[in-house]
Amino acid sequence: MTFADWFFGHHEALGQGPGTFSVYHYCFIGFCCVVAILAFIYGKYRNRERTELFVKASCIYLLIDRTIRIMLLFAAGEIDWTGLIPFHLCHISAYLIPICYLCRSKIAFPGVAFCGMAGGFLTVSFGDYFERAVPSFMDIESIIMHLLIYSIPIILLANGSLRLKKRDALGFWCTIHILASWGLLGNYWLGRENNFMYLMNNGMILKDGTNIALFPGHFISTYGFIIACITLLVYFIGLKNDWQDEHNKVKVNTTV
């Protein structure tokens, strides 16, 4: 195994990994849950200015990191020019979340942020990092990216910077379908084997290297469930916030 094999993640050199639903995968899911809880605690109990500074630094990191990654892969001949175009949900989110946050886009950011959370949770669930026996540098970089794209919205929710409305549920629903359509276009334009956004198959890999086909119609089974859960989550958080705002408005009017 050469440095280039480890850096770029050449499967033949790194060997077959333990696969999905291995002990390592379950430990990874547990680790990601702990990170999500710590992100909430950090956002809830740390100074708001500090958390905002951390989020801003994370956004700048994501933009630089993703750009350097694709340029390195392109320069090394690991991808062609089509690989420069982001089609995976997490890859797109790693650009859109920082751009929308840094530009203070209150309309677009909630939908984009929760799309990033959906992509992060999908990747954690499917465990495609365990396809190789040894995690490559690109795998480690990708794990950090996925942790950030779902931790950033959690931190902003916890510190109150991201205050959802009921209408944001519709915003998320529209955004995820627009991005899924973009991924579907990439799959049919560049080839179904690319499996952008896991729309062609669920991406789960067993120890022997075969794919687990748990459900017929992967688009409906995976995205339908994730979209429904996150849409309801956003809606009920927005419903609570709208009720609180209305209650506070009535309280102010009665005191005046």
Name the amino acid, one letter, at 250. V
Per-residue pLDDT, 163: 87
Q: What is the 3-state secondary structure (H, E, C) of 126-139?
A: HCHHHHECCCCHHH
pLDDT at 214 over 60: no
pTM across the whole model: 0.85
Angle formed by the axes of helices 23-45 and 48-75, nearest 10° = 140
Residue 199 structure tokens: 């729309």
Q: Can you give the residue range of the structural domain that contains 109?
A: 3-255
Closest CA to 234 of 174, 155, 168: 168
Q: Measure Cα distances from 203 to 20, 116, 165, 198 in Å.
A: 9, 18, 33, 6
Closest CA to 178 of 91, 105, 115: 115
Question: pLDDT band for position 222 (50/70/90)?
Answer: low
Rounded CA-CA distance 126/240 in Å is 32
Residue 165 structure tokens: 């409305």
Average pLDDT over the chain, rounded to an integer: 84
DSSP state of 193: G
| Residue 16 φ/ψ, nearest 5 degrees | -75, 130
Q: Are 154 and 120 in contact (CB under 8 A)?
A: no
pLDDT at 204 over 90: no
Domain total for the chain? 1
Per-residue pLDDT, 253: 56
pLDDT at 227 over 70: yes
